[in-house]
Amino acid sequence: MIAVLALMFALASGPAGAAAPDAPAAPPPAVAAPAATCRLPAGFAEAPVALPHARAAVAARKRLVVMALGGTPMASGVAGDAALGYPARMGAHLARLLPGVEVVIDNRAIPNRSARSMGQRLPEEIAQVRPDLVIWASGSRDALRKTDLAVYARTLQGGIAAIRAGGADAMLIDTQYAPGWAAIPMLDDYREVIETVAEMAEAPLFPRHLLMQDWHDHGVINLAETDQGQQVALARLLFDCLGDALARMVARGLAP
Partner 1 sequence: MSGAAKSPRDYRLDFFRGLALFLIFLDHIPNNPLAHATLKTFALCDAAEVFILISGYTAALVYGRAMARDGTVLASLRIWRRVWQLYVAHLLVFLVYSAQVAYAMSRITNPLFVETLGLGEFLQRPDITLVRLMLLAFQPAYLDILPLYIALLGVFPLFLLLLRWHRGLALGLSAALYVAARYWEFNLPGNLDSDGWYFNPFAWQFLFMLAASVGVRHAEASGQGAATVPTWLVVLAAAFAAFAFVIQFSWVLHEAFPAVPALLRRLLWPLDKTTLAPLRILSVLSLAVLVARFVPRDAGWLTGRLGWPVVLCGQNSLDVFCLGILLSVLGGILLTEFGFAPAAVALVNLGGVTAMLALALGIAWYEAGGRLPPRPAAAPRSAP
End-to-end CA distance of the chain: 55
Round to whole Å and give the CA distance between 87 and 108.
10
Nearer to partner 1, 1 or 42 (CB): 1
Query: What strands, in cross-sheet order, belong to the sheet with 205-206?
Result: 102-107, 63-69, 133-137, 169-173, 205-206
CB of 219 to partner 1, least distance (A): 17
Q: Which of 108, 106, 78, 110 is nearest to 90 (CA)?
A: 106
Round to whole Å and give the CA distance between 202 and 218.
31
CB of 223 to partner 1, least distance (A): 7
CB of 98 to partner 1, least distance (A): 29
Nearer to partner 1, 193 or 251 (CB): 193
DSSP assignment, residue 107? E
CB of 100 to partner 1, least distance (A): 35
Q: What residues line the site for partner 1 (CB under 8 A)? A: 1, 4-5, 8-9, 11-12, 18, 71-73, 77-78, 111-112, 114, 116-117, 140-141, 143-151, 153-154, 176, 178, 180-188, 192-193, 195-196, 200, 223-226, 228, 231, 235, 238
Nearer to partner 1, 12 or 210 (CB): 12
Nearer to partner 1, 30 or 183 (CB): 183
Round to whole Å and give the CA distance between 251 and 51.
9
